[in-house]
Amino acid sequence: MSEVTSRIAAGYEFTGTALRLGAVVHDGAADPAAQVRIPLAMLNRHGLIAGATGTGKTKTLQLIAEQLSEQGVAVFAADVKGDLSGLATPGDSNERIAARSAEVGDSWQPSSYPTEFFTLGDAPDGIPLRATMTSFGPVLLSKVLGLNETQESSLGLMFHWADQAGLPLLDLKDLRAVITFLTSDTGKPELKALGGVSTATAGVILRELVGLENDGADVFFGEPEFDTADLMRTTEDGRGVISCLELAGVQNRPTLFSTFLMWVLADLFDVLPEIGDADKPKLVFFLDEAHLLFHAASDAFLQAVAQTVRLIRSKGVGVFFVTQNPTDLPDEVLGQLGNRIQHGLRAFTPDDADALRKTVRTYPSTEDYDLEEALTALGIGEAIVTVMSERGAPTPVAWTRLPAPRSRMAPSDDAVRQQAVTESALHARYAEAVDRDSAYERLAARVNAPAPVRDPKQRRVPTREDRAEPAQETLVTQILDSGAFRSFLRSAGSALGRSMFGTRRRR
Ligand SMILES: Nc1ncnc2c1ncn2[C@@H]1O[C@H](COP(=O)(O)OP(=O)(O)OP(=O)(O)O)[C@@H](O)[C@H]1O
Ligand SMILES: [Mg+2]
């Protein structure tokens, strides 16, 4: 060990369990005795894996996911290009891998990992993830739709109206039906009674909703609703289950991805207890191609993501963003990422050069490397690393050569994936969509009826979504008219309220 590599490696000696990230590189050579690690207890301080295309981001994700699984930590990974499915298949040994293992002091063995495949929508290559409109809630939906405060409180009132009128909001067409009804000639008196909701506002919301549907997000809303506890499973032999969300067909539908993600994080936030600092996280998210998430996102959405990321840490959930340039992420998010694995950057254009300098500034200072130069000279599967030490301070900047993942570096065969899906314990619960009688069907019936139906004897059978019994019309009107209720809705929209995004707790 050289003086430099041993000094750097000393900053990566931890008392608790730590995951391997590779060997320190200095003067062009990796020192297998100088190891770079990340403390397992610090994975909830979130992270960034960045780098130009083909530099090794996804393999780094794979490497960390594998070790988390070995440590009994569940992983959720957005698999945008389909290459993460290799986790389900042992890697192929070859000379290149043998050489790399020797260079970085790794004892490479092929291994596969317990992997579940999910999809958004009805694609057969995964178990579909869905949530109902009701559980999604008006506040979170407003963020996704980019609604302003007035529109958000109007949406809240319309959700409430549907609830009181006994019209379950399960899928997108249910909500669309409710708003369409409220703006129709028959429904207008009801809209008026709601107070504070203008036909124009309802029209705007309806248009945004149609846009969301056109982006393909309609497939996400519906039943059976996914129980997020299913993301935190371990196998009988104590390994964490890796949930891969297969998004190969969804690249051009980023709204669907962000909609789902916000719901999952908000729901986990509701469900999980505060655990403060623990030995290891409960769940770690990896969001590959994270720029998709922020592409054309509203300020409200960015703030919601930043807030979620900040708060979910103490619930034992870590979030790793994987993207080409750190500048793809909003500053509020970037500032919260304690662990950084920066693969090579290109400096072809003036914009590249700007991004490069910006990236350098986010690193602790180092005498060991010229970072601007290093970042453009990194080899494939090498990165500039700094993580959170167990004491919560940044570790020394380390040029690191990473070991190869132990599972396959290419997609798993279709047969392997298919088998994982059909043999999954979750398949029977979630595979088939259910479109039960809800707002859309009931309003369609009502519109065809001669007069507004408000017969208490025709009340629906209560479902688990129901909290309040449908009230008498006069009472509803009184409640909705009261200033107290409207200010309640407003505060639910701006403050944390009963839950961060007003998603409805189901358990
Ligand atoms: N740790 C590693 N060990 C061995 N080979 C690696 C490693 N990291 C990357 N590679 C090689 O580099 C290739 C590209 O890596 P990877 O797919 O992770 O890049 P990426 O940064 O995710 O690219 P993109 O932005 O295009 O998704 C891999 O297929 C593999 O051959
Ligand atoms: Mg990749």
Question: Is residue 409 lining ligand 1, measured as CB closer than 6 Å?
Answer: yes
Question: Is residue 404 lining ligand 1, measured as CB closer than 6 Å?
Answer: yes
* Token digits of residue 423: 């043999």
Q: Is 418 exposed, middle or buried (0-12, 13-18, 19+ CB in 10 A)?
A: middle
Tell me the CA–centroid distance for residue 378 and ligand 1, in Å.
13
Nearest residue (by CA) to ligand 1, atom 6, is 381
Query: Closest-lying ligand to the alpha carbon of 287?
Result: 2
pLDDT digit string (tens) for the chain, length 507 residues: 789 999 999 999 999 999 999 999 999 999 999 999 999 999 999 999 999 999 999 999 999 999 999 999 999 999 888 899 999 999 999 999 999 999 999 999 999 999 999 998 776 789 999 999 998 899 889 888 889 999 999 999 999 999 999 999 999 999 999 999 999 988 888 888 888 789 999 999 999 999 888 888 888 899 999 999 999 999 999 999 999 998 876 666 677 778 888 889 888 988 899 998 899 999 999 998 888 888 777 787 788 889 889 999 999 999 999 999 998 899 999 999 999 999 999 888 998 899 999 999 999 999 999 999 999 999 999 999 999 999 999 999 999 999 999 999 999 999 999 999 999 999 889 988 888 888 988 888 876 665 444 444 444 444 444 433 343 333 344 444 444 444 444 333 333 333 455 565 544
- Of ligand 1's listed atoms, the one at least distance from the Cα of 22 is 1
Kindly report, residue by residue over 220-277, the tens digit of the pLDDT.
Answer: 899 999 999 999 999 999 999 999 998 876 666 677 778 888 889 888 988 899 998 8
Measured CA to CA, the distance from residue 315 to residue 18 in angstroms comes to 20
* Token digits of residue 265: 């994080």
Task: Tell how strand 18-26 and strand 398-401 pair up.
Answer: antiparallel
On whether the CB atoms of residues 71 and 417 are closer than 8 A, the answer is no
Measured CA to CA, the distance from residue 66 to residue 58 in angstroms comes to 12
Q: Is 407 exposed, middle or buried (0-12, 13-18, 19+ CB in 10 A)?
A: buried
Write the DSSP assignment of 465-483 as a string of letters: T--SPPPPHHHHHHHHHSH
CATH top-level class of 3-130+225-421: alpha beta
- CA nearest to 281, candidates 49, 12, 42: 42
Nearest residue (by CA) to ligand 1, atom 9, is 56
On whether the CB atoms of residues 244 and 75 are closer than 8 A, the answer is no
- Of ligand 1's listed atoms, the one at least distance from the Cα of 410 is 29
Residues 6+ apart with CB under 8 A from 331: none
Q: Half-sphere exposure of 25 toward its Cβ, with a 13 Å CA cutoff?
A: 23
On whether the CB atoms of residues 83 and 77 are closer than 8 A, the answer is no
Measured CA to CA, the distance from residue 287 to residue 490 in angstroms comes to 32
Residue identified by tokens 């009805």 is 122
Measured CA to CA, the distance from residue 247 to residue 253 in angstroms comes to 9
Q: Which of 59, 61, 67, 84 to mutate to test the pocket of ligand 1 (most atoms within 8 A of CB)?
A: 59
Kindly report, residue by residue over 336-387, the tens digit of the pLDDT.
Answer: 999 999 999 988 899 889 999 999 999 999 999 999 999 999 999 999 999 9
Q: Which of 21, 53, 58 to mutate to test the pocket of ligand 1 (most atoms within 8 A of CB)?
A: 58
On whether the CB atoms of residues 301 and 295 are closer than 8 A, the answer is no
Cβ contacts of 450-456, under 8 Å, gap ≥ 24: 452/186, 452/190
Which bin fits 50, alpha (ψ -120 to 50), beta or left (φ > 0)? beta
Question: Is residue 59 lining ligand 1, measured as CB closer than 6 Å?
Answer: yes
Tell me the CA–centroid distance for residue 260 and ligand 2, in Å.
21
Measured CA to CA, the distance from residue 340 to residue 50 in angstroms comes to 8
On whether the CB atoms of residues 387 and 19 are closer than 8 A, the answer is no
Measured CA to CA, the distance from residue 245 to residue 119 in angstroms comes to 6
* Token digits of residue 420: 């994982």
- Of ligand 1's listed atoms, the one at least distance from the Cα of 56 is 18
* Token digits of residue 254: 């980023």
- CA nearest to 475, candidates 461, 456, 490: 456
Which one-letter DSSP state was computed for residue 339?
E
Domain boundaries in the chain? 3-130+225-421, 150-221+437-494
Written in H, E and C, the secondary structure of 110-172 is: CCCCCEEEEECCCCCCCEECCECHHHHCHHHHHHHHCCCHHHHHHHHHHHHHHHHCCCCCCCH
* Per-residue confidence (pLDDT) for residue 481, from 0 to 100: 44
Which residues partner with 225 through β-bridges?
none
